[in-house]
C-alpha cells in the first residue's frame, strides 16, 4: 500500500511539473488551437497536453510499479499507448482526417487484442445464457475500443470537461474493480489510479481559464485507456459487467449517442461536427463556462453513484435500475433539447396525460 500511495503522489507531481514544459513545446512545434466558429477559445491555445499525462503515467509505472504488472500485458499496452499518443500528436499538429485517426485507434486495439490478450470472449445475457463470441470477439472488442475512445474525444469541448469527467469515471472504475468485480485483479485498479493521478496533476492547467488543452493526444489517450481498462471486466461479459462501464461513462456515451441521433434525424453526415453537444446546450440555457463544466461533473457523479448500485443489486433490481436511469436520462435530454427543441416525445406524452399545455412552444404565443 505504501508504494501505491507514494506512486500516486509521484505521478501527480510529475504531471504537474511536466505540463508547463509540454505547453512550451506545443507552441514551438505548432500544436496550437486557433480560434474559429466551433471553438470556445478566443486566443491561440497550446494543445497536446495529453503528452504530459502519458509521460507522467508511464514514468511512474516503469520506475516505481513495474513489478506490479504482468509482462505479457504491460509492454503490449505501452506499445498501444505509444500508437495512440503518436496519432494524437500528429493530429494536434497537422489535423488528421477522421479515417486516419480511426486507423490509429484500430492499430492500438489490435495490439491490445493479439499481444496483451485483453478482449471480449463470451457474453452472458439473462434468459439467453452464455454465448461464445468466437470470430466475433475481434470486431466486438475493436468496436468497444473505438466507441469509448471517440466518445471521450467528443466531450472535450470545454476547459477541464473531459479531464474532470474522466477522473470521475476512472476513479469509479477503479473502486468498482477493486471491491466488486472478482474478475479484475488488484493491479488493474492500481493502474487506473495512476492514470487518475496523472489527470489530477494536469487539471489545474486545464480548468477554466485553461492554459493548455488535452488535444487529441490527451482525449484519444484517455478514451483508449478507459476502454482498455473496462475490458478487464468484460472478458467474460455479463449484463452487469457491460452495464456498469456504460453507466460510469454515461456523460460521453449520452453525448455521442444523441449527437448521432440528432445528425441522423436532421439528415446530416454522422461525422459532421456541430455546436449542439451537451455543453453547448447548457451554455445556451444561460450557464457560464465554469457552471456548465461543474454541472456536467455533477451529472457524471450521479452516473457513477448509480453504477455502484449494480454490484449490490439482484437481476431484477438491476433491470429496474436500468429502466429508471434511461427514463430519467430521456427526460433530461428532452428538457435541454439535446436532439432538438421540437423533439420531445416523452415530455409531450406526459403533458397530454396530465393535460399540461406547453406555452413556450404554443403557436398562440408566437408573435
33 among annotated binding-site residues: no
pLDDT single digits (tens) 164-216: 999 999 999 988 887 775 555 788 999 999 999 999 999 999 999 999 999 99
pLDDT of 258 reads: 87
Confidence of residue 43 (pLDDT cuts 50, 70, 90): confident
The verdict on whether omega for the bond into residue 209 sits within 30 degrees of 0, i.e. cis, is yes
Residues 76/116, Cβ–Cβ less than 8 Å: yes
Instruction: Report the candidate in 192, 274, 282 with the shortest Cα–Cα distance to residue 233.
Output: 192
pLDDT of 251 reads: 92
Q: Parallel, antiparallel, or unpaired: how do β-strands 129-132 and 122-125 relate? A: antiparallel
Instruction: Report the candidate in 173, 328, 314 with the shortest Cα–Cα distance to residue 240.
Output: 314
The mean per-residue pLDDT over the stretch 115-127 comes to: 84
Q: What is the pTM of this model?
A: 0.90
Alpha-carbon torsion 18, 21, 25, 26, what sign? positive
| Residue 357 pLDDT greater than 60, yes or no | no
Instruction: Report the candidate in 62, 39, 115, 49 with the shortest Cα–Cα distance to residue 88.
Output: 49
153 among annotated binding-site residues: yes
Confidence of residue 364 (pLDDT cuts 50, 70, 90): very low
Residues 120/144, Cβ–Cβ less than 8 Å: yes
User: How large a percentage of the chain has pLDDT more than 90?
Assistant: 58
Per residue in 95-114, is it b (16+ CB within 10 Å) or e — as a string? ebeeeebeebbeebbbbbbe
Domain count across the chain: 1
User: Structural domain of residue 19, as residue ranges?
Assistant: 2-365
Structural Rg of the chain based on CA atoms = 21
Amino acid at each position: 500500500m505504501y508504494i501505491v500511495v507514494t506512486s500516486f503522489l509521484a505521478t501527480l507531481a510529475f504531471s504537474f511539473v511536466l505540463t508547463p514544459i509540454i505547453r512550451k513545446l506545443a507552441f514551438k512545434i505548432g500544436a496550437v488551437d486557433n480560434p474559429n466558429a466551433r471553438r470556445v477559445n478566443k486566443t491561440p491555445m497550446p494543445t497536446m497536453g495529453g503528452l504530459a499525462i502519458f509521460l507522467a503515467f508511464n514514468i511512474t509505472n516503469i520506475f516505481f510499479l513495474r513489478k506490479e504488472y504482468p509482462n505479457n500485458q504491460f509492454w503490449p499496452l505501452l506499445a498501444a499507448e505509444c500508437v495512440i499518443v503518436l496519432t494524437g500528436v500528429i493530429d494536434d499538429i497537422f489535423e488528421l482526417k477522421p479515417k486516419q485517426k480511426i486507423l490509429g485507434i484500430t492499430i492500438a486495439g489490435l495490439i491490445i487484442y493479439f499481444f496483451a490478450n485483453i478482449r471480449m470472449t463470451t457474453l452472458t445475457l439473462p434468459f439467453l445464457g452464455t454465448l461464445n463470441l468466437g470470430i466475433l470477439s475481434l470486431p466486438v472488442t475493436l468496436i468497444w475500443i473505438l466507441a469509448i475512445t471517440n466518445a471521450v474525444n467528443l466531450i472535450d469541448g470545454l476547459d477541464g470537461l473531459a479531464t474532470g469527467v474522466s477522473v470521475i469515471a476512472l476513479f469509479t472504475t477503479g473502486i468498482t474493480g477493486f471491491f466488486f468485480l472478482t474478475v479484475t485483479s488488484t493491479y488493474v485498479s492500481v493502474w487506473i489510479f495512476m492514470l487518475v493521478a496523472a489527470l489530477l496533476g494536469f487539471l489545474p492547467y486545464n480548468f477554466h481559464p485553461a492554459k493548455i488543452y488535452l488535444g487529441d493526444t490527451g482525449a484519444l489517450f484517455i478514451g483508449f485507456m478507459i476502454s482498455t481498462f473496462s475490458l478487464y471486466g468484460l472478458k467474460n461479459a455479463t449484463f452487469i459487467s457491460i452495464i456498469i462501464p456504460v453507466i460510469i461513462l454515461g456523460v460521453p456515451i449520452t453525448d455521442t449517442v444523441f449527437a448521432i441521433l440528432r445528425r441522423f434525424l436532421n439528415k446530416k453526415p454522422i461525422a459532421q461536427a456541430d455546436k449542439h453537444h451537451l455543453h453547448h446546450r447548457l451554455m445556451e440555457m444561460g450557464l457560464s463556462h465554469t457552471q456548465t463544466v461543474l454541472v456536467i461533473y455533477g451529472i457524471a457523479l450521479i452516473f457513477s453513484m448509480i453504477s455502484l448500485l449494480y454490484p449490490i443489486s439482484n437481476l431484477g433490481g438491476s433491470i429496474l435500475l436500468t429502466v429508471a436511469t434511461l427514463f430519467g436520462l430521456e427526460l433530461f435530454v428532452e428538457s435541454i433539447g439535446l436532439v432538438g427543441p421540437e423533439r420531445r416525445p416523452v415530455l409531450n406524452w406526459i403533458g397530454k396525460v396530465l393535460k399540461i399545455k406547453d406555452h413556450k412552444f404554443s403557436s398562440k404565443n408566437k408573435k
